[in-house]
Amino acid sequence: MLVWRPVFVTAKIQKSAYDVIVVGSGAAGGQSAYTLCMDGAKVLMLEAGRKYTPEIETPMFQTPDLAPLSAVSTPDKPFGFYDATVDGGWEVPGEPYARASEEDAGRFEWWRARMLGGRTNHWGRISLRNGPYDFKPNSRDGLGFDWPISYEDIAPYYDKVELLIGVYGSNEGLENTPNSAPGCLLPPPKPLVSDLLVAQRAKRLGIPVIPGHRAVLTQPLDFTHSPARLHPGNASAQKIIARDMHERAACLWATSCGRGCAIRANYQSTTVHLPPALASGNLDIRTDAMVYEVTVGRNGRANGVSFIDRTSGKHQHAAARVVILAASACESVRILLNSKSARFPNGLANSSGKLGRYLMDTVGSTVSGQIPLLESLPPLNEDAADGHQMYVPWWLYQDQHAGKLDFARGYHIEFGGGKRMPGHGTGAGLEWLTGGSYGVKFKQDVRRYYGSFVGFDGRGEMIPNEQSYCEIDPAMKDKWGIPVLRFHWQWSEHELRQAAHMQRTFADIIEAMGGRVHGEVKTDGAKAIAPGGSIIHEVGGAIMGSDPNTSVTNAWCQTWDVDNLIVADGGVFASNADKNPTLTIMALAWRASDRILERMRRKEL
């Protein structure tokens, strides 16, 4: 039987050396630690934030009346009181960052979550694969960069990640929207009334609507067959993961995933990656460990990291044969830029001068509408899988390739409606429909309109450009004295036109549903587009490539300059397809860790 041991180490019991140090505990850190530990490597994970225990800290069924201010967002809890994120947001007390511009067009906002598991505790769980085009965008349209890997290189890792974490979805065989290997996906949840209406009416416009892909267990994981597929030839790993999969419950079709999940029915690093990694006995975790530098030995190789113990304020060091940065794209870049030495005066792994360059986020734009057909429906429990039962993959690849659109890359559409739990906002802002009713008429109006709204969010590809990057601010430091990042940001016409296209498309769908668009349809892309960083899909800054002069890492996420230093997070993305990055981050991290294990076996590391 597996025994949980007290694995959260302190300075006193931290070992003198590890095989691998993993900086960060989110999607990239969790996956790296999991892959390495299951194969016997001794890993120290360092997390800047506090320990976090979803099993006891998750507000599973709490209703808004039990929270301050009906659980609305505040500067302390930017995604609402019940969002899983603690000590996080676009602003973190004591941890400022600088912006080269405060203008909307040049603004970048940097979300961080200082907690074990990082952003995986609250993310949307949308788990889409990049397709073949997405790894070779430059070859297709001459813009941006090709990755040094192709879809075929990463497909087996997508399969494994889906099997491990549990992703629902379907295989539709659509262009650049890959199928998974048989048995990888869980069945998608049943659609809501509003989903069916969107699907029916969008179809009339030639827009496909298919089941979404999210990391939510719509049924228990296959703990009988999956372990052997995940860890062939590794009996110990199979045993550990079989037990862990068995212990994860399936979705109970209630409460928002963004709160986290105490029954482990969705993916967050803290409930999926870390428990089996800890059960292997090979993982030590130190929380409150703010890493600021990768240290390098006389041989030019990384030999560990320096960090500040946030509880004591003391500077400490940890040693290992391999260092993996998985601190999030920008934080990993910050650590490398701050790791200056006589040998590496511009920061570590920056001989190309490309460290911090080609920062990308996702293009976001929103339109919502009110749909008379959905008014006054009978009582329905529409909590479902917490949204994204269905979505629209990008459908105009051929038109785009033929030059019929005025922007180069695509977007997918996330949409949602239904009778979600009432709270603050229910009954608000109805004047455009009610003419300002109050009294008994207002109560009738709220009943009539409740559940009749559908919102559409576009999520589109941004092409990397020379004007979007981060660097170390010459003056500003955080509360520990660590130099902070300064961000530069600029959209290109491709993104702005894409955002305008989203607005028109969403309005068309709403009208095809017989609905009314709420507010103005923004045909000016600059007004339609959400600020940089606000979609929280920032990637790039340490892009992978096949040329050490123009990229920071090779195809295995190893930095060109220091071969035992790996960037495992979104920093290595050479493009940012419309597909949400998390699944790809995990697949890349698994692949990079496999490579590390192989090189360790060959005594190269």
Partner 1 sequence: MDRRTTLKWVLAAGAAWPLKGGRAARADAEPTARGYGTDPNLVANYRPGELWPLTFTAAERRLAAILADIIIPADEHSASASAVGVVDFIDEWVSAPYPRHQEDRTIVHDGLAWLDTEAGRRFGKGFAELGGAAQHGICDDICEESSAALENGDAAKFFALFRDLTAGGFYSTPAGRKDLNYIGNVPLTRFDGPPAELIKALGLDS
- The distance of closest approach from Cβ of residue 378 to partner 1 in the complex, given in angstroms and rounded to an integer, is 7
| Min CB(453)–partner 1 separation in Å | 13
Half-sphere exposure in the Cβ direction for 314 (13 Å, CA): 6
The DSSP letter of residue 378 is P
Q: Which stretch binds partner 1 (CB under 8 A): 175-183, 250-258, 294-302, 307-315?
A: 250-258
Q: Which stretch binds partner 1 (CB under 8 A): 136-144, 334-342, 407-415, 422-430?
A: 422-430
Give least dist CB 484 to partner 1, A: 18
The owner of tokens 């970048």 is: 108
255 near partner 1, judged by CB under 8 A: yes
Residue 76 engages partner 1 in binding (rule: CB under 8 A): yes
**CA neighbor of 491 nearest in space, from 137, 105, 144, 111:** 105
The verdict on 3 binding partner 1 (CB under 8 A) reads no
Q: Is 68 in the site for partner 1 (CB under 8 A)?
A: yes
CA separation for the pair 228, 230 (Å, rounded) = 5
Signed CA dihedral, 401, 406, 412, 415: sign only: negative
CB 384 within 8 A of CB 418: yes
Examine residue 51 and tell whether it contacts partner 1 (CB under 8 A): no
Q: Which of 251, 240, 250 lies closest to 274, judged by CA?
A: 240
Indicate the residue among 21 and 384 with the shorter CB distance to partner 1: 384
Q: Does 437 bind partner 1 (CB under 8 A)?
A: yes
Q: Residues 33, 167, 192, 318: which binds partner 1 (CB under 8 A)? A: 192
What gap in Å lies between CA 602 and CA 595, rounded to an integer? Answer: 10
Q: Would you count residue 54 as binding partner 1 (CB under 8 A)?
A: no
Instruction: State the minimum distance, in angstroms, from the CB of residue 211 to partner 1.
Output: 12
The answer to whether 208 contacts partner 1 (rule: CB under 8 A) is no
Question: What's the min distance (Å) between Cβ of 85 and partner 1?
Answer: 9
- Cα 41 to Cα 282: distance, rounded to the nearest angstrom: 6
Q: Does 422 bind partner 1 (CB under 8 A)?
A: yes
Does the footprint of partner 1 cover residue 380 (CB under 8 A)?
yes
* Residue 560: CB minimum distance to partner 1, A: 38
| The only residue of 15, 225, 443, 477 in contact with partner 1, by rule CB under 8 A | 443
Question: Rule CB under 8 A: is residue 466 a binding residue for partner 1?
Answer: no
Stretch binding partner 1 (CB under 8 A), from 40-48, 186-194, 521-529, 588-596: 186-194
The string over 317-334, giving b where at least 16 C-beta atoms fall within 10 Å of a residue's C-beta and e elsewhere, is: ebbbbbbbbbbbbbbbbb
CA–CA separation, 578 and 3 (whole Å): 42
Residue 50, interface with partner 1 (CB under 8 A)?
Answer: yes
Residue 142 or 435 with smaller CB distance to partner 1: 435
Nearer to partner 1, 189 or 275 (CB): 189
Question: Min. distance of Cβ 309 from partner 1 in angstroms?
Answer: 18
Whether 105 and 490 have beta carbons less than 8 Å apart is answered as yes
511 and 504 Cβ atoms separated by less than 8 Å: no
Residue 278 CB, shortest distance to partner 1, in Å, is 23
Only one of the segments 72-80, 220-228, 455-463, 561-569 lies at the binding site for partner 1 (rule: CB under 8 A); that segment is: 72-80
Q: Report, in Å, the least distance between residue 451 CB and partner 1.
A: 8
**Member of 182, 438, 466, 603 binding partner 1 (CB under 8 A):** 438
Structure tokens at 417: 């409606």
351 scored as a contact of partner 1 (CB under 8 A): no
Which of 77, 213, 273, 409 lies at the binding interface for partner 1 (CB under 8 A)? 77
Q: Which is nearer to partner 1, 74 or 341 (CB)?
A: 74
Residue closer to partner 1 (CB basis): 212 or 571: 212
Q: Which two tokens stand for residue 139?
A: 């070859």
Binding of partner 1 at residue 89 (CB under 8 A)? yes
In DSSP notation, 173-238 reads -BTTBPPPPTT-EEPPPPPPHHHHHHHHHHHHTT---EE--BSB-SS---TTTHHHHHSTT-HHHH
Instruction: Tell whether the torsion through CA atoms of 570, 574, 579 and 584 is positive or negative.
Output: negative
**Number of other residues whose CB lies within 10 A of the CB of residue 361:** 26
Q: Looking at beta carbons only, is 92 or 100 nearer to partner 1?
A: 92
- Residue 64 or residue 540: which is nearer to partner 1 going by CB? 64
**Strand order across the 411-416 sheet:** 210-211, 390-392, 411-416, 453-460, 363-370, 516-517
By CB under 8 A, tell whether 377 contacts partner 1. Answer: yes
CB atoms within 10 A of CB 262: 18
In one letter, which amino acid is 522? K
Stretch that binds partner 1, among 1-9, 233-241, 307-315, 418-426 (CB under 8 A): 418-426
Size of the site for partner 1 (CB under 8 A): 76
Nearer to partner 1, 16 or 381 (CB): 381
Task: Report how far residue 219's alpha carbon sits from residue 188's, in angstroms, rounded to the nearest whole number.
Answer: 10
Phi-psi label, residue 182: left if phi above 0, alpha if psi -120 to 50, beta otherwise: beta
Pick the closer one to partner 1 by CB: 59 or 144: 59
Does position 446 bind partner 1 by CB under 8 A?
yes
Measure the CA–CA gap between 446 and 19, rounded to whole angstroms: 60
Which one, of 83, 81, 123, 84, lies nearest residue 388 by Cα?
123
Contact 447, 379 (CB under 8 A): no
Q: Which is nearer to partner 1, 235 or 421 (CB)?
A: 421
Asked whether position 93 contacts partner 1 by CB under 8 A, the answer is yes
416 binds partner 1 (CB under 8 A): no
Q: Are 462 and 363 within 8 A, CB to CB?
A: yes
Q: Is position 79 an interface residue for partner 1 (rule: CB under 8 A)? A: no
Report residue 566 as tokens. 């790996």
Number of Cβ within 10 Å of residue 174's Cβ equals 15
Q: How far is the CB of 70 from partner 1 (least distance, A)?
A: 4
Site for partner 1 in 554-593 (CB under 8 A): none
- Least separation in angstroms between CB 536 and partner 1: 17
Contact criterion met (CB below 8 Å) for 107 and 101? yes
- Looking at the Cβ atoms of 40 and 208, the one nearer to partner 1 is 208
* Tokens at 305, concatenated: 């990291």
Does the footprint of partner 1 cover residue 196 (CB under 8 A)?
yes
Q: Which one of residues 11, 105, 254, 526 is an interface residue with partner 1 (CB under 8 A)?
A: 254
